[in-house]
Structure 1
Amino acid sequence: MPLPVPKYPELILTPYPTLPVSKSAEKLLRQLSDKELKADETYSVTKACLTAPAGKNYLYTLAPYWWECDGKWERRDGQRNPVCDKADGQKQLQSMAQAVHSLSFAAQALGRAEYAERATKLIRTFFLDEETKMCPEVLYSQCCLGDDPVCGDKTFIIASRYLILVSQALRVLQLPDDVSAGMKAWVGAQVAWIDSSKQGADARASGNNITDWLHALYASHLAYLDSSKAQEYAKGVFASLTCKSPAETFAPELERTRPRHYVQFTLEALFILAPIAGNGAPPPEVTAWLKALIEFARTVPAGELEAEREADARYGPALAWFDRLLLRWEGGSVPEQEPDGSAWEGGWNQRARLSWALI
């Protein structure tokens, strides 16, 4: 049975924004940031309904594709089990990351001190305050409740990928000295954990979108800590990737139940990584390779589960994001017009519009 069509498109994570931002981006940044000020909310993994076995300060998420059947747990690729939403630490992380991203770039673009102050408060609460902070070691993400003991695995990177938005925000946000030092230490600790942990090693060796997202997060963190090291790292990754044909690149995803979804998901990670390799825009050989990937992606047929969810009317507008990025990187004129959102009941929401406008 095909998966249902969501009301809104899934949010596509995009690379570090083009600065200065466009007028339409300024408007959306102001609207979203004003909402954050009015809501006066803070976010923390410690607010989650379920907490990790080692304590509340660890990000704790449940693997979405595992289902219990007659006392046994089985994996159903592409079918999200609603029970995983009970461990809602990832929702806290995503809400924080989106808020910090909007507020930080709004403060940079509009010069509003209250936006920067709000982003700083959210960062202190989520990353630095002893009672509410998230540990940089992601030991309990994407757990299967059928495991004993319960523990995370290499897919930690999928649950924590929204930290890329935080890495991007930290590059423009003016922080008090103590918060700046604290975030440098936190991000550095996560990079070190990825380098030293089995989960990090397994993610690097996975050979599919897990590896691509590991590279994207790692390079984004490095771009905040040391831009030259980030560029060197990203260039090294692409040196090993651009020798592959599109069919070889996407081979692991084409065998899955939702090939269109996973091809698009892979493209997100690669497009985040690409401009870091060129310190702003990708090297020409990387841009040419990405173009070939996009052309191949257009030929991918929908899988049985995604026949409706990723129908042509929805898959095409999703790929338009990557066309827009390529046009920007090649120095072309990027139009204000948004993709056609009429195939979704709710159309494009503010967050999606902002991500599009920041390209």
Structure 2
Amino acid sequence: MKHFGLVHSQVNREQWNAYFDLTAIIQQADNCLTAPPVQITDERAPQSPGNAHDYYSNGDYWWPNPDTSNGLPYVRRDGESNPDNFHAHRILLRRMRSRVACLATAYRITGEQRYASHAIRQLDAFFVNERTRMNPHLLYAQAVPGICDGRGIGVIDTLHLIDVAAAVQILQHSHTSLADSHVLQSVSAWFADYSQWMNEHPQGVEERNEPNNHGLCWYVQMAAFARLTGQYAMLDWCREQYKTKLLVEQMDTDGSFPRELSRTKPYAYSLFTLDNFVTLTHLLSTPDDNLWEFQLSDGRGIEKGISFLLPYIENKQSWPYGRDVEYDAEWPVAMSFLLLAGLAYHSERLIALWHKLDHNPKEDELRRNMAIRQPLLWI
């Protein structure tokens, strides 16, 4: 039996207080106990060609056409998010993720079954109950009015579900009833179905082949979902793609990500890409194949990527690649890669930044670019 455990990022229970505000996590979970379940059917997308169970969103950077009477077709303004686009399903998905992840983390901290039971009720509403569940596909994600009903790059919208997959693995160890066990099995089956859609549908394949952060996030999701569903051959394949495709296509020899530096938000996109590269390194590393130590023949590897960006996280003013068109002053914040890589490399510099930076930014734009919200589920 292969061991697909985590490498160099394990922390003893006695040390959790050194990295996390356990009291705040439990208080947040207590608030979740009285909140009603979140479900995709809570909001109907008026422009969606699907039904109430189909996820729908609009592309961020698309705006009404100023040259037409009806605003169609929309036109792209890279880096400028349109607040009037349909984001309700994104918000619902992330709200569900945050509650499930927080409740599962509180269960892990305390061992109290009430947190696990409430998380499972939330999972049932979003993934299992036939009246309220989300269908396991993203046919209508990041649609552009007047151009298309959905796009391959919409697959990035479910990046936040990696926290849910990690939570389910924790909840599987709870002392659940037969009904709760059935819910958890059904949620795992949902993720298996969604993984199959991601890997086989043309939109999923298109996203997988993107040579930038979108393609990377496809692999992050696939690896997280494959760990949950026991798809070990897929994990092996993702590990090989990490070495032969992702690093080769996306990282320059200095550790930078050129495709992200060329965008209108070079700083935020560089952070986002590094965060997800670290998450993927964490997900795919095994005792026999430690990707934290892997390097291409020219030295490219995750350590090189961290070394490139770290000085600019410590001193944002030294960043030489231009300002982001939005939210430039709000970055950086405490993203999970600082903790995961800090533990993997026993790096006091990274851990110090993890403690120093803001863990709960108020701006929605920043929060949606933080895939992992409860790192205690991951170590």
Displacement after TM superposition at 1:186 (Å): 0.5
Cα shift at 1:336: 9.8
| 2:294 aligned to which of 279, 285, 288 | 285
AA of the residue aligned to 1:325: L
Deviations 1:288-332 (A, max 9, x none): 8222112323375353443x7324xx545557x534432201245
Aligned position for 2:315: none
SS at match of 1:160: helix
Equivalent position of 1:193 in the other structure:
197
Question: Which residue of 9, 15, 31 corresponds with 2:27?
Answer: 31
Once residues 339 and 190 of structure 2 are traced to their aligned partners in structure 1, the CA distance between those partners, rounded to angstroms, is: 33
Inter-partner Cα distance in structure 2 for 1:122 and 1:114: 12
- Residue 89 of structure 1 is matched in structure 2 by 89
Alignment of 1:46-65 (within 5 A): 46-50=41-45, 52-65=48-61
Aligned residue for 1:254?
261
Match of 1:74 in 2: 75
- 1:200-220 Cα shifts (integer Å, max 9, x gaps): 111111101000100000100
Cα deviations across residues 120-165 of structure 1 (Å, max 9, x unaligned)?
1100000011111000011111111122xx4111122221111111
> Do structure 1's residue 152 and structure 2's residue 156 form an aligned pair?
no
Residue aligned with 1:91, SS: helix
CA distance in 2, matches of 1:180, 1:279: 26
- Describe the SS at the equivalent of 1:172: helix
Map Cα deviations across residues 337-358 of structure 1 (whole Å, 9 max, x no partner). 722449x789x99xx9974777
Q: Report the equivalent of 1:338.
A: 355
Question: What's the CA shift for 1:231?
Answer: 4.1
Go from structure 1 to structure 2 and tell me whether the alpha carbon gap of 1:126 and 1:269 turns closer, same or farther (over 3 Å shift): same
Question: Where do 1:116-195 residues align within 5 Å?
Answer: 116-147=116-147, 150-174=148-172, 176-195=180-199
TM-score when normalising by structure 1: 0.82
Unaligned runs of 5+ in 2: 1-8, 313-317
Q: Find the counterpart in structure 1 of residue 270 from structure 2.
A: 263
Aligned to 1:11: none
Displacement of 1:183 in angstroms is 1.4
Q: Are 2:328 and 1:310 equivalent residues in the alignment? A: yes
How far is 1:271 from its partner?
1.4
**Does structure 2 retain, via aligned residues, the 8 Å contact 1:155–1:210?**
yes
Counterpart CA distance in 2 for 1:50 and 1:274 is 36
1:73-98 per-position Cα deviation (integer Å, ceiling 9, x unaligned): 210000000111x4401100000011
Unaligned runs of 5+ in 1: 1-15
Greater relative contact order (CA < 8 Å, ≥ 6 in sequence): 1
Amino acid of the structure 2 residue aligned with 1:62? N
Cα displacement (A) at 1:229? 3.7
**Cα distance in 2 for residues equivalent to 1:163 and 1:56:** 20
Distance in 2 separating the partners of 1:116 and 1:138: 28
CA distance in 1, matches of 2:182, 2:112: 21
Whole-Å Cα distance in 2 between the matches of residues 235 and 332 of structure 1?
A: 24
Partner of 1:5: none
Cα displacement string for residues 190-237 of structure 1 (whole angstroms, at most 9, x for unaligned residues): 011011101111111110100010000010000111174464234212
**In the aligned structure 1, how far is the partner of 2:231 from the partner of 2:347?**
26
Once the two structures are TM-superposed, the CA of residue 31 in structure 1 deviates from its matched residue by 1.3
SS in 2 for 1:292: helix
Match of 2:3 in 1: none
CA distance in 1, matches of 2:230, 2:253: 31
1:236 and 2:240 aligned: yes
Residue 33 of structure 1 and its aligned partner are, at CA, apart by 0.5
SS of equivalent to 2:84:
helix
Letter in 2 for 1:44: Q
Query: Paired residue for 1:98?
Result: 98
Identity %: 23
Which residue in 2 is equivalent to 1:4? none
In structure 2, relative to structure 1, the CA distance for the partners of 1:221 and 1:188 (3 Å cut) is same
Query: Does the CA contact (< 8 Å) of 1:67 and 1:76 recur in 2?
Result: yes
1:18/1:81 CA distance change after superposition, 3 Å: farther
Q: Distance in 2 between matches of 1:222 and 1:270?
A: 17
- Tell me how far apart the structure 1 counterparts of residues 260 and 53 of structure 2 sit (CA, whole Å): 33
Q: The residue matched to 1:94 in structure 2 has which SS? A: helix
Amino acid at match of 2:75: E
Change (3 A) 1:103 1:282: farther
Contact 2:293 2:303 (C-alpha < 8 Å) held by counterparts? no
Q: Find the aligned partners of 2:39 and 2:253 in 1 and give their Cα distance.
A: 40
Aligned-residue Cα RMSD (Å) equals 3.2
Please state how far the C-alpha of 1:261 moved relative to its aligned partner. 1.2
> TM-score with structure 2 length normalisation?
0.78
How many equivalent pairs are there? 332
